[in-house]
Structure 1
Amino acid sequence: MAELMATMVVGPLLSMVKEKASSYLLHQYKVMEGMEEQHEILKRKLPAILDVITDAEEQAAKHREGAKAWLEELQKVAYQANDVFDEFKYEALRRKAKAKGHYKKLGSMDVIKLIPTHNRIVFRYRMGNKLSMILNAIEVLITEMNAFRFEFRPEPPISSMKWRKADSKISDLSMDIANKSRKEDKQEIINTLLDQASNGDLTVLPIVGIGGMGKTTLAQLIYNDPKIQKHFQLLRWVCVSDNFDVDLLAKSIIRKEKSANTDTEKSPLDELKEAVSGQRHLLVLDDVWNREASKWEALKSYLQHGGSGSAVLTTTRDRAVARLMAPNQEPYDLKSLNESFIKEIIERSAFSSQQERPPELLKMVGDIAKRCSGSPLAATALGSTLRMKTTKKEWGAAIDQKLF
């Protein structure tokens, strides 16, 4: 039952992806340059899927395995798409900040730390591949959707007068909750990393958890902690996903992109070895899926030339990946959030201010929080969807229609 409830958040999650894909920032700062056609196709496909979500969830609730499997795959793709459009958003904000002559912060995360590669050609190539993968997966899901003949049930449009004003500081508020809700997790991992100061071997610590539990957010909190920033002489952040190309990863780590005409006798791995040699470094490899031990061992052999106390912090949904990367280290299992924090996330996402929190709606938050299975991403998605609904009747209808 809990597994089924987890798939019930896919509608709000997909709605959030649709909203991010339509953000004016993407167009204003041309982060979709060279990907315009794929972008437009995706924006047309998402509403078609959203129109059948309610029926698909009802079919899954009746224990129809095909519908359940389809929803689970859709949820996986929606999480991936959400991550991809977050990367587009961060790049847009970086370009906005650069255009104004300074770098702003996203919560406590410095944009320049989150985006290690600022070369626009490299960014376009990397993100174009990710967007193509998302679009291909969406095409398969739509083909299966038509085969299942899910019933179209588009939600009636809500009067524009009922829309709440968006709170531009929602990211800062979410970061505030993350700092509180993951305080113990953060401190435990920081202590583990700092305790390895005299260890001559490379420490590899995987953070493992299902999608939406906040692995990346936790890693960002750790990476930007003052004690970590002071302790390590060299810090690097690389989003890996499914492309574990050793040479490209080495280039990303050393933050040195070369044009095709550049001639050098050193390989990227040799330059990586030179960059980390003798320095206590922390490398974050975010969202790792690679199960090819030879690739990881090749990269690790060069990272081991760092100074004592050097470490790799990695996030993954796959326990097999964690075992491959750190066979002698117990991975850090990221548990679901306490329900009180889930409620806080929903409230902050659903309401624009303390003055706009009707008591009759607040009473419903607790029941909704139970349906999130401790996932902060699900809570954010649900809260963002409820932000468009201003009455008890609208909230109740969303629950009755199994929107969650």
Structure 2
Amino acid sequence: MPIAELFLGAFLQVLLERLASRELLNFARREGIDKLLKKWEGMLISINLVLDDAEDGQLAGNVGVKLWLENLRNLAYDIEDLLDEFTTKSAKDESKAKPRASKACLLLPSCGFILNPCAFMFDCKMRSKIEEMDGRLKNLITQKDILKLREANGNQSADHRQHKPLPTTSVPEYFVSRKDEKGEILELLTRGGR
């Protein structure tokens, strides 16, 4: 697998771990997007399972697969940015809620967030980004199916690797040493200085 796809696979694993983190899940529940993020997690798992096949398609020169991988890479970066925004907003919400915890706010936990116009604008902006990411993710899943990318399971991967030529580091039989040429060059250099 080329370095880029190896990196992309590792990056998707990090995104999956972040989507499953307790802090993000708590924030998602408060914002009412927990089901959506769970759906994203499933979609990213499905995409992650076809990376080997996508890499083979790209190596075979399939332009559609190459474009799909580029779109996936861009979306993964954008999702990471969105998760960073969630983390930042969650931390801000928690820091604002703690000092202002009045009896009314304890009874109505969302009262501090609804009355703040900046928070409302942020929520609208965030929801717009969420909808955009969701659409792009659904599009990647549709394209994955159109491109007929197959999910690799343990047996397929092992069989598939057997048919792939392994990179070789052995020296071919026709390899000619440059030892004699090196000696001649050194002799010429040492004679030339005299």
> TM-score range with shorter-chain normalisation?
0.5 to 0.7
- Higher RCO (CA 8 Å, separation ≥ 6 residues): 2
Moved over 3 A (4+): 4-8, 29-32, 96-101, 117-120
Would you say the 8 A contact 2:12–2:44 is kept in 1? yes
Question: What are the ranges of 5 or more consecutive residues in structure 1 without an aligned counterpart?
Answer: 102-116, 157-404
2:18 is the counterpart of 1:20: yes
Would you say the 8 A contact 1:55–1:150 is kept in 2? yes
Q: Which residue of 2 aligns with 1:131?
A: 130
Amino-acid identity (%): 25
Match of 1:60 among 58, 61, 65: 58
Letter of the structure 1 residue corresponding to residue 60 of structure 2: K
Question: Normalization by structure 2: what TM-score?
Answer: 0.61
Q: Which residue of 2 aligns with 1:96?
A: 94
Q: Which residue of 1 aligns with 2:174?
A: none
Cα gap change, 1:23 to 1:122, in 2 (>3 Å): farther
SS of structure 2 residue aligned to 1:9 = helix
SS of structure 1 residue aligned to 2:31 = coil
Cα gap change, 1:121 to 1:34, in 2 (>3 Å): farther
TM superposition shift of 1:128: 1.0
TM superposition shift of 1:63: 2.3
Cα gap change, 1:132 to 1:14, in 2 (>3 Å): same
The residue correspondences of 1:114-129 to structure 2 (distance < 5 A) are 119-129=118-128
TM superposition shift of 1:23: 1.9
2:37 is the counterpart of 1:33: no
Q: Which residue of 1 aligns with 2:151?
A: 152
TM superposition shift of 1:30: 4.9
More helix by share: 2
Letter of the structure 2 residue corresponding to residue 26 of structure 1: L
Question: Normalization by structure 1: what TM-score?
Answer: 0.31
Cα gap change, 1:148 to 1:19, in 2 (>3 Å): same
CA RMSD across the alignment = 2.8
TM superposition shift of 1:39: 2.3
More strand by share: 1
Match of 1:83 among 77, 81, 84: 81
Would you say the 8 A contact 2:25–2:34 is kept in 1? no
Matched residues, number:
139
1:91-146 Cα distance to aligned partner (Å, 9 max, x none): 12223334454xxxxxxxxxxxxxxx984432322111101111101111111101
Letter of the structure 2 residue corresponding to residue 145 of structure 1: K
Which has the larger Rg?
Answer: 2
Q: Which residue of 2 aligns with 1:44?
A: 42
The residue correspondences of 1:94-243 to structure 2 (distance < 5 A) are 94-101=92-99, 119-154=118-153
